[in-house]
Structure 1
Amino acid sequence: MPIFQPIILTTLTITTLIFLSSTHLVLMWVALELNTLVVLPLIANKSHPRSIEASTKYFLTQAAASALIIFSWTLNYITTGGGQITEVTNQVLTTIMTLALFIKIGLVPFHFWVPETIQGMAPTASIFLLTWQKLGPLIMLYLMSPLINFEVLSAVSILSATVAGWLGLNQTQIRKLVAFSSIAQMSWTLVIIKYAPSLTILAFYLYSITISATLLTLEKLSTTSINNLLLSFQKAPVTSLLLTISLLSLSGLPPLAGFLPKWLTIDQLVAEGAIWVAFTMLMASLLSLFFYLRLWYNSASTLPPNTINTQRLWRKPTQQTNLTINSLAMAALTLILAATMMKAITKQEAY
């Protein structure tokens, strides 16, 4: 697998540059297909039935979404003769393309492939699927934001936040919890894209940092279920503390970084008159908050009963530190002052 890492990173970089430099739907569709083909080896990197099943589900779902995108572009080209993404003016075609991009991102009701795919992947490989892979569809939605129907956008966002939080309540597998967390976080990222696309960029940036820190710490702790977290603090107290910071940041508790985009999103939705959308999103986030706090409680707030006289389990002392995990976890921290400054900047842009 290390042999293919430069190829994978190079391809992802090229496709990202295509998304950033072009607005033609055919080029963007080609970039989406390249992204899909690049992520497939990351999913099926082991000859395990679960990995093969995850890669098959991912490929079929992404192929269906790509077919809808090229179908929408074809009909738009026949009717208007335009190939730019900003020229899709037909409301029906815009809705079809928006739903296809929702499939790419994994929002409800097209979320079924996300937990199954993440369950069959390694935590480090999941970082690419949950962050970089979603950058292309987000850029396309960013360019289409003036044309998107807000009723469709708000309905999908509310459903995503509610269903993801509800399905995560009784879930014990950490990878599936991370998948449901990603669905809920993406709903907050997209609900405001029509009124304030800059907030979408900020929310996705903070989400990428925090989810990367969470997945790296989970891999370092070698935990696959919530029960394994009970021993994590005794084995690696510093890593468990970093995991706690990342989880609480994902939950959106102040003064951590995850609180900033949610605060600004609610403020912008209320300013635009979408009070019920803001209220429903807040209520749905309480479901996600429950399983975040459950993970935090099991990882850092409990000590399981020991049958020996020592206070901690034996572990080999080491002086090595993981700079990547530490940097990402510290980036998940922020101050209320930074949130206040960002809020002032957003209001200035609105005026």
Structure 2
Amino acid sequence: MAFLPTISTFFSILCFSIVFCLSSSHWFGVWLGLELNMISFIVLSMSEKSLNSSESAIKYFLLQALGSGLFVLGSCLSYASSGSWLISSLSGPDSLLILSGLGLKLGAAPFHFWVPSVMNSLSWYNALVLSSLQKIAPLLFILVLFPNFSMLFMLILSASGALVGGIGGLNQTQILALLGYSSIGHLGWIMGLSLVSLYFSIFYFLLYLITVTVVFCLLKTFNTNKVKSFSLKEKMNSSMQVPFFICLLSLGGLPPLLGFFPKMVGFKLLSENLFSFLLGLLILGSLMSLFYYLNLFFNSYMSSMSAQKQSEMFLVSNFNSLLSALTVIFCLSGLMFMEIFSF
């Protein structure tokens, strides 16, 4: 993606729209921030000037417009029942329409159907934005407002997210689509944790943002989106392979990496609050997600067995060193947190 002044401007608008949306106390302000966010991302996705990018931008616009319609309808019903546009005046029945609109914008199950196809048509940079920045505003509104109003609906979002994220990624042949299903699975955990601890669910989301950003930065270093042709030894500097797979398996929640820590604490919190059935579904989805991450790892290892051994490289760029240091921090942090929050 060429970082032209126009692209930089719209990326700045995208970041501003998130702050504007989260700082608003009226439904109109939230809606305006979400629309600015949508328009900015569409411009960013169409900047690639390819047929796939244009197709994904159109899909994204249509589904986001539907989500905006549900959101506006719920806001109007909330105003009709309370006589106020304040977010604090939200009532139970009106919250379902608003939650459905935000869930569609977020791409959480069962409103997830657009996420894999749109992700698969985007560039690596735009896919990273869709997996991280685009989730901040709708997710935080759902976490803060709706667990008290619609616990049953939040349970449905959590359980369906874990199962869809696990099952959907098993037969994927495209890496971007696989990462899209992975994000759906993580959203299931975040929704479930919001029922017992708002602050820890936000903390889980922050860890997810950090890990997925590092993974996408490393994925950008090679040019393939096919799982079967995923061979890092031919496409990636040898000094980057270990950090990449550690971050990837951390995203899958493999112990004792950092990604395992929030799930371990989530297991403790959910079991203490008697959400046993939901916890079982979340664990099942996580195991399936870990399976396709391990499959990606072993597929890369086996496909490169016959390749000639590359010469060792002793000079590593500053960027490579930074990513390697982040990986070590992830591992050590995971071990430290496991000791702190041990049973």
Q: TM-score under structure 2 normalisation?
A: 0.91
Aligned residue number for residue 192 of structure 2: 191
Written as runs of structure 1 = structure 2, the 5 A alignment for 1:11-50 is 11-50=13-52
Aligned partner letter, 1:114? V
Structure 1 residues 331 and 116: alpha-carbon distance in aligned structure 2, compared to 1, 3 A threshold? farther
Between the aligned partners of 2:74 and 2:341, the Cα distance in structure 1 is: 37
Aligned to 2:286: 285
1:120 counterpart letter in structure 2 = S
Asked if residue 268 in structure 1 is aligned to residue 265 in structure 2, the reply is no
Larger mean Cα displacement after TM superposition, 233-242 or 21-30: 233-242
Conservation of the 8 A alpha-carbon contact between 2:27 and 2:87:
yes
Counterpart of 2:27, as a letter, is L
* Cα distance change on mapping 1:335 and 1:285 into 2, 3 Å: closer
How far apart in 2 are the matches of 1:5 and 1:256? 36
1:77-88 to 2 correspondences below 5 Å: 77-88=79-90
Q: Secondary structure at the match of 1:82?
A: coil
Q: What residue in structure 2 maps to residue 9 of structure 1?
A: 11
Listed as ranges, the gaps of 5+ residues in structure 2 are none
User: Percent of aligned positions with the same letter in both sequences?
Assistant: 27
Measure, in 2, the Cα distance between the counterparts of 1:329 and 1:123: 20
Indicate the RMSD between aligned Cα atoms, in angstroms: 2.3
Partner AA of 1:128 in structure 2: V
Q: Specify every segment of 5 or more residues in structure 1 that has no aligned partner in the other structure, as ranges.
A: 345-351
**Secondary structure in structure 1 of the residue aligned to 2:229:** helix
Conserved in 1, the CA contact under 8 Å of 2:169 and 2:181? yes
The separation in 2 between residues aligned to 1:105 and 1:328, in whole angstroms, is 28
Where does residue 65 of structure 1 map in the other structure? 67
* Aligned counterparts of 1:202 and 1:147: Cα–Cα separation in 2: 19
Query: Would the alpha carbon gap of residues 241 and 278 (structure 1) be closer, same or farther in structure 2, given more than 3 Å must change?
Result: same
Distance 1:343 1:126, change over 3 A: farther
The amino acid across from 2:247 in the alignment is S
Q: Residue 181 of structure 2 aligns to which amino acid in structure 1?
A: F
Find the aligned partners of 1:236 and 1:126 in 2 and give their Cα distance: 23
Counterpart position of 1:311: 309
Task: Evaluate the alpha carbon distance shift between residue 234 and residue 191 of structure 1 in structure 2; reply closer, same or farther with a 3 A threshold.
Answer: same
TM, length-normalised to structure 1: 0.89
1:295 deviates by 1.2
Partner of 1:219: 220
Equivalent runs, 1:105-254 vs 2, <5 Å: 105-232=106-233, 235-254=236-255
Which residue number corresponds to residue 338 of structure 1? 337
Report the 3-state secondary structure (helix = DSSP H, G, I; strand = E; otherwise coil) of the residue aligned with 1:229: coil
Counterpart for residue 349 of structure 1: none
Task: Give the distance between the partners of 1:317 and 1:125, measured in 2 at CA.
Answer: 33
Q: Which amino acid aligns with 2:337?
A: A
* Contact 1:85-1:143 within 8 A present in 2 as well: no
> In structure 1, what residue type is equivalent to 2:183?
S
1:44 touches 1:52 (CA, 8 Å); kept in 2? yes
Q: CA deviation at 1:175?
A: 0.8
Q: How much does 1:133 deviate? A: 0.9
Q: Could you report, residue by residue, the CA deviation over 1:212-248 in whole angstroms, capped at 9, with x for unpaired residues? A: 1111111102221123322536742222212101111
Look up the match of 2:256. Answer: 255
**TM-superposed deviation, 1:191:** 1.3
Residue by residue over 1:57-90, the C-alpha shift from the partner in whole angstroms, topping out at 9 and shown as x without a partner, is 101111111111111111111111121222211x
Q: Tell me, in whole angstroms, the C-alpha distance in 2 between the residues paired with 1:325 and 1:40.
A: 29
**Residue equivalent to 1:75:** 77
Task: State the shift of 1:12 in Å.
Answer: 2.7
Residue aligning to 2:317: 320
- How many Å apart are 1:249 and its aligned residue? 0.5
Q: Hey, what's the Cα distance between the residues in 1 that align with 2:281 and 2:144?
A: 26
1:118-151 C-alpha deviation (Å, 9 max, x unpaired): 1111112211111111110122113313533222
Tell me the distance in 2 between the aligned counterparts of 1:118 and 1:101: 18
Aligned partners of 2:245, 2:274: CA distance in 1, in Å? 35
* Gap change, CA 1:34 and 1:273, over 3 Å in 2: same
